[in-house]
Amino acid sequence: MGLINNIKDAFNKAEFTVAPNKKLKSLSADFLKAFDLQLVFYKGPMIADGDLTLAALNKKTTKEVNTTADGLKIKGSMKVGDAEKLFDQQFGVKVQIKDKEGKICVPNGITIGQAARGEYDK
């Protein structure tokens, strides 16, 4: 069943796009809607306030946040670790992808689709 699910992930229309001017809580809600997983933004070692935009986060962290980066698209066929790295590369923001309840960080080596289906050791 794993191979079939991976093929489905590649053709799944669920896609998540990041717009730098959206509030972090809106981006997280969109991610949850698209993939049934939590997307958590960090300001240094602490979870960032969801009412901030990426631009506002830039003023609250020592790491420069790139608010002029082009939108970022994430699909279910991407590996979790690759998606997290893209946020850092594109925007200079640390994120973690967690399970639906936001309790467990999902493994970086699996796809977002596999994480959404819970296909990993918890």
pLDDT reported for residue 8: 55
- The stretches in the chain having pLDDT less than 70 are 1-14, 58-71
- Residue 95 CA: distances (Å) to CA of 6, 12, 81: 24, 23, 10
pLDDT reported for residue 73: 84
pLDDT reported for residue 79: 96
DSSP letter for each residue of 1-52: -HHHHHHHHHH---EEEE-TTSBHHHHHHHHHHHHSSEEEEEETTEEPPTT-
The label of the residue with tokens 């901030």 reads 52
pLDDT reported for residue 38: 97
pLDDT reported for residue 7: 53
At 49, list the tokens: 């306030």
**Where exactly are the structural domains of the chain?**
2-116
Q: Would you put residue 79 in left (φ > 0), alpha (ψ -120 to 50) or beta?
A: beta
